[in-house]
Amino acid sequence: MNEAKAPETEKAEPFQRLGEIGLSNFAPYLMNRIMGRYNADLRQEMTGLGLTTPKMRALAVLSVIDDLPISDLAVYAVVEQSTLSRALEQLASDGLVRRDPDPNDSRVTRIGITETGRAALDQLWPSMARVYAQMFKGIPAEERQAFVTTLQKMLKNIRKHDF
């Protein structure tokens, strides 16, 4: 009577529990495991350069999209606004980023990366590339591409902002 007439892809399962899925089939678990290692591996390198994860993330984002309002940067960099505020304080005093008041909205401070900031990131990049390569070792280009495509869909599904 109360048969589920589910459209296949969406929600057909009554409610599978984690134990039934299994950790190694549960994507969020695997992703947390992988990113935990990725971030831990990089943290070591960062420490040597006087960087922290929030600082590094801010620089990495700014190396691609410059001159961002702090609130946008927080979203891109996946760092809490207040944490980022303090990280930027240090980055600015170390000369790795620049703070420019937004001409149109005086509440906004726009952050740009400096040459020194780029240089710092360049020092870290080999490690990032190495860990990245390690992660995808033995995975063919086509599979990598499909993987990224799925990730892009997932981000669209889950994000709370327009970017």
Residues 34-73 interacting with DNA (rule: CB under 7 A): 43, 52-54, 69-72
Which bin fits 112, alpha (ψ -120 to 50), beta or left (φ > 0)? Answer: beta
Residue 152 and residue 145: Cα distance in Å, rounded? 11
Taking CB under 7 A as the binding criterion, the range among 4-12, 19-27, 108-116, 150-158 that sits at the site for DNA is 108-116
Both tokens assigned to 74:
């927080």
Both tokens assigned to 95:
């000369």
List 32, 85, 134, 149, residue binding DNA (CB under 7 A): 85
List 60, 108, 128, 135, residue binding DNA (CB under 7 A): 108
Contact (Cβ atoms closer than 8 angstroms) between residue 99 and residue 111: yes
CB of 158 to its own copies, least distance (A): 5
Q: Whose structure tokens read 């780029």? A: 118
Query: Which three-class secondary structure state does DSSP give residue 98?
Result: strand
Q: Does 160 bind DNA (CB under 7 A)?
A: no
How distant, in Å, are the alpha carbons of 76, 136, 139 from that of 142?
Answer: 27, 12, 8
Residue 18 binds which of DNA, its own copies, none (CB < 5-8 A, kind-dependent): its own copies
CB of 129 to DNA, least distance (A): 22
Residue 143 binds which of its own copies, DNA, none (CB < 5-8 A, kind-dependent): its own copies
CB contact set of 24 (below 8 Å; sequence gap of 6+): 30
Q: Does 87 bind DNA (CB under 7 A)?
A: yes
Taking CB under 7 A as the binding criterion, the range among 20-28, 58-66, 105-113, 127-135 that sits at the site for DNA is 105-113
Residue 119 binds which of its own copies, DNA, none (CB < 5-8 A, kind-dependent): none
